[in-house]
Chain A
């Protein structure tokens, strides 16, 4: 079993528990162990695009530094820190590129880190879990572990922005990605392509400009359902929250609106690999996927009355 230093980020412990638990479960099936970094801190999302703000870069560098220390305690661990959240992935990748390009910035950040007796040597690679699945495990290896192909699930991949932007952080071609598509197919689900696969959900505007998010989500869901999708697959807890929660609000407002459930890619994997349903934490979803999954016979009917 290969051990990876794993950086969860805040949301995986709060409103995306299903994401984390399913990821840890399926990775074990695939001979991968995600070992959580002890005493990790917030990555400092979203990454600053200023050229002159050192403060906003300290948190992500500290994550890299702690991960490095963590890796030294693991066995047979590649020099990589793995993330699940695409915003964490983006932030850490960008900062890692920035400090590798600019020793001066790194020195200044390290000066700040010294209080914590940490220095970063710019010697660690940031990987999103999807990259591990694609490049180290392989889709074939995933297919082999599928015990319950997701027949009848028509899944539209929604990348959001941060898996594909910017250049430094992207895990796939930014205009023609195929990692989620290949994964969905290897799980036996039907693939539904939507042109709005990276149409921004409105992100952090949910805090004070909800109208922006709601109009974005409406378009994203409409584009997918019009093409026959009955589910979306995502890799970002914020995309997931925005789309999920807004759909619920829209369904309340308009009877004609048909919401579709949202899955993290690891949830689909867990379902297909026959993991217990409860690790998905479907109860926390705004649009509960269970009725659809039951209808398709993908989860047991035991609980239905």
Chain B
């Protein structure tokens, strides 16, 4: 649906502030140049661009931010963060959206349901990293 009613109430402000608190970044530093999305090597698998996620956080659009897959596709390669002209740790904002979700529902990935074969064959570095990113 390409319509949004914009309001700046308590809910919007709290969502924005929580993301700012978790990431330690100033969301308003972003001036929407789009370089983060331009350099993101996973954008073909994202349903929303990285800069759009940031813009929506500025506007406090919690539902639309959380319903995107963008932050779950992000692999924390940090290319966006090192190239941001405003020195925003963009990847940290993606992490903050993940964390925001995980602090409510801690299991994005159900470890107990992973096949034993997967657990055995994968290097521990992959498992540790994945669980740290996808569980609360």
Query: Which residue on chain A has the smallest CB distance to residue B94?
Result: A49
Q: B89 contacts which chain A residues (CB < 8 A)?
A: 49, 166
Choose among A52, A165, A202 the residue that contacts B79 (Cβ–Cβ < 8 A): A165
Known A56-B132, A87-B129, A216-B41; judge A207-B122 contact (CB<8 A): yes
Structural contact, A45 and B123, CB atoms closer than 8 A: no
Structural contact, A46 and B123, CB atoms closer than 8 A: no
Q: Least Cβ distance of A181 to chain B in Å?
A: 19
A50 at the interface (CB under 8 A from B): yes
Q: Least Cβ distance of A28 to chain B in Å?
A: 26
Query: Which residue on chain B has the smallest CB distance to residue A206?
Result: B126
Which secondary structure dominates chain B's binding surface?
A: helix
Q: B21 contacts which chain A residues (CB < 8 A)?
A: 51-52
Choose among B76, B123, B130, B133 the residue that contacts A15 (Cβ–Cβ < 8 A): B123
Known A50-B95, A51-B24, A200-B41; judge A205-B130 contact (CB<8 A): yes
Complex: A198 Cα to B77 Cα, angstroms = 9
> How many residues of chain B are within 8 Å of chain A by beta carbon?
37
A139 at the interface (CB under 8 A from B): no
Choose among A14, A51, A52, A216 the residue that contacts B124 (Cβ–Cβ < 8 A): A14
A122 at the interface (CB under 8 A from B): no
A221 at the interface (CB under 8 A from B): no
Structural contact, A165 and B82, CB atoms closer than 8 A: yes
Binary interface encoding of chain B residues 101-122 relative to chain A, with 1 for a CB under 8 A from any of its CBs, else 0: 0000000010000100010001
Binary interface encoding of chain A residues 151-171 relative to chain B, with 1 for a CB under 8 A from any of its CBs, else 0: 000000000010011110010
A42 at the interface (CB under 8 A from B): yes
Choose among A14, A85, A167, A212 the residue that contacts B42 (Cβ–Cβ < 8 A): A212
Known A51-B22, A52-B22; judge A205-B125 contact (CB<8 A): no
A3 at the interface (CB under 8 A from B): no
Structural contact, A161 and B126, CB atoms closer than 8 A: no
Complex: A117 Cα to B79 Cα, angstroms = 38
Q: Which of B41, B44, B81, B109 is the most central at the interface, judged by chain A CB atoms within 10 Å of its CB?
A: B41
In chain B, residues 28-86, which have Cβ atoms closer than 8 Å to a Cβ of chain A?
41-42, 44-45, 73, 75-79, 81-82
Structural contact, A11 and B123, CB atoms closer than 8 A: yes
Structural contact, B41 and A49, CB atoms closer than 8 A: no
7 contacts between A and B (CB under 8 A): A46-B76, A51-B23, A164-B82, A167-B82, A198-B79, A203-B129, A207-B127
Give 8 nearest A-B pairs by CB, closest first: A51-B24, A200-B77, A165-B78, A204-B129, A49-B92, A204-B130, A161-B77, A49-B95
Residues of B within 8 A of A (CB): 21-24, 41-42, 44-45, 73, 75-79, 81-82, 89, 91-92, 95-96, 99, 109, 114, 118, 122-130, 132-134
